[in-house]
Amino acid sequence: MAKKRGKKALSFSKIVVITLLAFTALFTVAMTVIFLSCGAIPDTLVTAYFAFAGGEAGFLGLIKYADNKFSPKNPDDSDDGAAG
């Protein structure tokens, strides 16, 4: 069993989101450089990249939503619906 250190480990989905944001920023900078040097950008490549990035983020959101909605609640979180 691995030892737990003082820092909390990042979940896989957070790593994917951080990586996705970093690559999207790099892609945007690269397309700006290409536009400034050539005067045009490959529209199909841009459309395909952002479709992939949006789809990946959407699926991660769907997985997170399903985990939160369908996971069993803690017994300590008893909510009888009464206010106050």
pLDDT at residue 73, as a whole number:
74
The answer to whether residue 61 is domain-embedded is yes
Which pLDDT tens digit goes with each residue over 41-62? 999 999 999 999 999 999 998 9
- Per-residue pLDDT, averaged over 25-49, amounts to 94
Per-residue model confidence (pLDDT) at position 9: 73
* Averaged pLDDT for residues 17-26: 94
What is the dihedral sign for C-alpha 53, 56, 62, 65?
negative
User: Domain total for the chain?
Assistant: 1
- Taking the alpha carbons at both ends of the chain, their separation in whole angstroms is 44
Report whether pLDDT(1) > 60.
no
CB contact set of 27 (below 8 Å; sequence gap of 6+): 49
Residue 37 lies in a domain: no
In a domain, 30, yes or no: no
Mean pLDDT of 51-76: 85
Pick from 17, 3, 14, 10: which is nearest to 56 by CA? 17
Q: Does a structural domain hold residue 18?
A: no
pLDDT of residue 72: 79
What is residue 77's predicted lDDT score, i.e. its pLDDT?
55
* Dist CA 62 CA 17 (whole Å): 13
